[in-house]
C-alpha cells in the first residue's frame, strides 16, 4: 500500500520534471545566433567618383535645366562620398538600356564574393545549410536567385528556400524573422541569409524629380549572414537575437504610395520617393517603438517616461500655456549601440533627433552612408561592420537595429554581443580614415556653386 502511494506521488512529479526539462531544452534550441556575416565590396573600377558622377548626369539628355539643378542639389547635400560603388553597366554607358543579364551579373558577383567567405570563415560547408533566405527586391528572375545560389554551391535537395522580392530596404530583418520562426520548431539548423539589391535594371533615365532622386542615394552592396540555433556552436557565435518587431502600414494609402516602383508619363520605369515619405516613416517608426520599447528597456525607464507623460498631461489640462516639452524615452538605458539604416542624411538625422542620440551614436551610420551610400537592405550590416572594425562591440553589449522600407515598413531588433568583436570585415582597408570630422565631400566642392545660381539664367556648362 505504501509503495502504491509512493508511486502515485512519484509518477506526476516525474512527468512534471520531464515536461519542465523538455520546455527548457526547447527554449535553448530556439535561440537565434549569428555565426558570421560578410559584407560585399566591389572592385575599385566601380567606384563612383565625383567627376564620373557629373558625366553620368550630363549623359541623361532627358534632363531639363530645373531637373539638372535639382539633381545636383540633391547630390551635394546627400552625405555620400566619392568611394561608393555603381553597377558595371553605368561605367559602360548603358544605363539607359540595361539588360536582364546586367542585373543577374551584378548579383552573381556579390554571391561569388561574400558567400564563400562567410562559409569558409565559419567552417561550414554549403551542404550543411538547412535554410536559405534571399531578399532582392527589384529583380525577379526564373529560376530564382535562390535557385542560382543552390546550383552554384550544390546545396542539398532538402534545403528550405525562401526567395523574397518587393520588400525594400527593410528586407534583411524580415529574412532574419523568417529564420527566427523556423528555429522555433526545428533543432540544430544552419541558415544562410543573402541580402542585397539589383540596381542595374532599375536605373532611372527620365526627368521625374521624385524618381531621379533614387539614383543619387542607392549604391551597389550586399551581405551574407550565417545563423544557427545549434547550442553546441553558441561559443563561436557573434550575436544572439533578443527580440524583433515588424510594423507594416500598407493598409494606409499614403504610406503605401510614398515609396513605389512605377512608370513615368513616358513609360520609363523608376523608383518613386514621394513627399509624404517623411510623414509615413515617422508614423511607422513611432508605432514600432511603442511595441519594442517594453521589450528592450528597463522598467525604471518605462516608469519614468510614463510618470513624466502623465504629469505633462495634467499640466496641460490646468494651463492654457502648455506644459513644456514632450517627454522622451532614454533608449541608452537599455541599448549600447544604434545600428541605423543609411536611407540618407535626413533619415539618420531624423532618427537621431527622435531618440536624442549623440554624435557618437550616429557616427557608424553617417560614416557608412559616406563610404558605401545606401545599399538598401544590406546597409544595416555595413553599419554593424563599422562598429566591429572600430572595436566598439564588447561581450554583453546590446545593439539596436532600425530599418525602413517600402510598403511602408519599419522593422527593428535587438542583438546581444556574445563575445568581444574586432574583425575589420569590409572596412579593413579604410577604417583608420574614419570618422571624418568634415563630411563636406568633393560633390559640394565641385557642384556647390549651383546653390547660388538663378533659375531664370542658369545653363548647363560645357565642362564641369
Q: Say whether 248 is catalytic.
A: yes
Q: What does the alpha-carbon distance between residue 333 and residue 412 come to, in Å, rounded to a whole number?
A: 17
pLDDT digits (tens, 9 = 90+) for 295-335: 999 999 988 888 888 887 777 766 655 555 677 888 999 99
Q: Has residue 222 been placed in a domain?
A: yes
pLDDT digits (tens, 9 = 90+) for 103-151: 999 999 999 999 999 999 999 999 999 999 999 999 989 999 999 999 9
Q: Among 190, 249, 272, 337, which one carries the catalytic annotation?
A: 337
Q: Has residue 457 been placed in a domain?
A: no
Question: Hey, how many other C-beta atoms are within 10 angstroms of the C-beta on 229?
Answer: 24
Residue 395 confidence (pLDDT) above 80: yes
Q: Say whether 370 is catalytic.
A: yes
Domain that holds residue 236: 31-311+328-451
Residue 34 confidence (pLDDT) above 90: yes
Q: Has residue 9 been placed in a domain?
A: no
Q: Among 135, 202, 207, 374, which one carries the catalytic annotation?
A: 374
Q: Has residue 120 been placed in a domain?
A: yes
Q: Say whether 39 is catalytic.
A: no
Q: Say whether 272 is catalytic.
A: no
Q: Has residue 35 been placed in a domain?
A: yes
Q: Has residue 147 been placed in a domain?
A: yes
What CATH number does residue 301 fall under?
3.40.47.10
pLDDT digits (tens, 9 = 90+) for 160-192: 999 999 998 999 999 999 999 999 999 999 999
Residue 419 confidence (pLDDT) above 80: yes
pLDDT-derived band at 58, boundaries 50, 70, 90: confident
Beta bridge partners of 265: none
Q: Among 60, 370, 410, 441, which one carries the catalytic annotation?
A: 370
pLDDT-derived band at 11, boundaries 50, 70, 90: low
What is the total residue count of the chain?
464
pLDDT-derived band at 401, boundaries 50, 70, 90: very high
Residue 350 confidence (pLDDT) above 80: yes
DSSP letters spanning 35-67: EEEEE----GGGB--HHHHHHHHHH-TT--HHH
Q: What pLDDT does residue 295 have?
A: 94
Residue 21 confidence (pLDDT) above 80: no
Number of domains the chain is built from: 1
Q: Has residue 72 been placed in a domain?
A: yes
Q: Say whether 29 is catalytic.
A: no
Q: Has residue 209 been placed in a domain?
A: yes
DSSP letters spanning 365-407: HHHHHHHH-B-GGGHHHHHHHHHHHTT---TT-EEEEEEEETT
Kindly list the distances between the CA atom of residue 173 and the CA atoms of 260, 392, 421, in Å, as whole numbers in the listed order: 20, 22, 21
Q: What does the alpha-carbon distance between residue 213 and residue 357 come to, in Å, rounded to a whole number?
A: 27
Q: Say whether 249 is catalytic.
A: no
Amino acid at each position: 500500500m505504501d509503495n502504491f502511494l509512493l508511486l502515485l506521488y512519484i509518477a506526476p512529479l516525474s512527468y512534471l520534471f520531464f515536461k519542465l526539462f523538455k520546455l527548457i531544452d526547447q527554449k535553448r534550441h530556439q535561440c537565434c545566433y549569428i555565426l558570421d556575416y560578410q559584407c560585399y565590396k566591389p572592385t575599385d573600377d566601380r567606384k563612383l567618383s565625383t567627376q564620373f558622377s557629373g558625366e553620368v548626369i550630363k549623359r541623361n539628355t532627358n534632363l531639363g535645366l530645373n531637373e539638372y539643378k535639382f539633381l545636383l542639389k540633391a547630390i551635394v547635400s546627400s552625405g555620400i562620398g566619392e568611394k561608393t560603388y555603381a553597377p558595371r553597366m553605368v561605367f559602360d554607358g548603358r544605363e539607359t538600356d540595361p539588360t536582364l543579364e546586367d542585373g543577374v551579373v551584378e548579383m552573381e558577383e556579390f554571391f561569388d564574393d561574400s558567400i564563400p567567405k562567410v562559409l569558409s570563415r565559419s567552417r561550414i560547408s554549403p551542404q550543411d545549410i538547412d535554410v536559405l533566405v534571399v531578399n532582392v527586391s527589384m529583380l525577379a528572375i526564373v529560376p530564382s536567385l535562390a535557385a542560382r545560389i543552390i546550383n552554384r554551391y550544390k546545396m542539398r535537395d532538402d534545403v528550405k528556400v525562401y526567395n523574397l522580392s518587393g520588400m525594400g530596404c527593410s528586407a534583411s530583418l524580415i529574412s532574419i524573422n523568417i529564420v527566427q520562426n523556423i528555429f522555433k520548431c526545428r533543432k540544430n539548423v544552419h541558415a544562410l541569409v543573402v541580402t542585397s539589391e539589383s540596381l542595374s535594371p532599375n536605373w532611372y533615365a527620365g526627368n521625374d524629380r521624385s524618381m531621379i532622386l533614387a539614383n543619387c542615394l542607392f549604391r551597389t552592396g550586399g551581405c551574407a549572414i550565417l545563423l544557427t540555433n545549434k547550442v553546441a556552436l553558441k561559443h563561436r557565435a557573434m550575436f544572439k537575437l533578443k527580440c524583433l518587431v515588424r510594423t507594416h502600414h500598407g493598409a494606409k494609402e499614403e504610406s503605401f504610395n510614398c515609396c513605389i516602383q512605377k512608370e513615368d508619363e513616358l513609360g520609363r520605369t523608376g523608383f518613386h520617393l514621394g513627399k509624404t515619405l517623411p510623414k509615413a516613416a515617422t508614423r511607422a517608426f513611432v508605432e514600432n517603438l511603442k511595441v519594442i520599447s517594453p521589450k528592450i528597456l528597463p522598467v525604471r525607464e518605462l516608469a519614468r517616461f510614463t510618470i513624466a507623460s502623465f504629469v505633462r498631461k495634467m499640466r496641460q489640462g490646468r494651463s492654457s500655456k502648455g506644459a513644456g516639452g514632450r517627454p522622451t524615452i532614454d533608449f541608452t538605458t537599455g541599448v549600447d549601440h544604434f545600428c541605423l539604416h543609411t536611407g540618407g542624411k535626413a533619415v539618420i538625422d531624423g532618427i537621431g533627433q527622435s531618440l536624442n542620440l549623440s554624435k557618437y551614436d550616429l557616427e557608424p551610420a553617417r560614416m557608412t552612408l559616406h563610404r558605401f551610400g545606401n545599399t538598401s537592405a544590406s546597409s544595416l550590416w555595413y553599419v554593424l561592420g563599422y562598429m566591429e572594425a572600430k572595436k566598439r562591440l564588447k561581450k554583453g553589449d546590446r545593439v539596436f537595429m532600425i530599418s525602413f522600407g517600402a510598403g511602408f515598413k519599419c522593422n527593428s531588433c535587438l542583438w546581444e554581443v556574445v563575445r568581444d568583436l574586432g574583425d575589420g570585415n569590409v572596412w579593413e582597408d579604410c577604417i583608420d580614415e574614419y570618422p571624418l570630422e568634415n563630411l563636406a565631400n568633393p560633390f559640394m566642392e565641385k557642384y556647390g556653386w549651383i546653390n547660388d545660381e538663378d533659375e531664370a539664367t542658369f545653363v548647363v556648362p560645357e565642362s564641369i
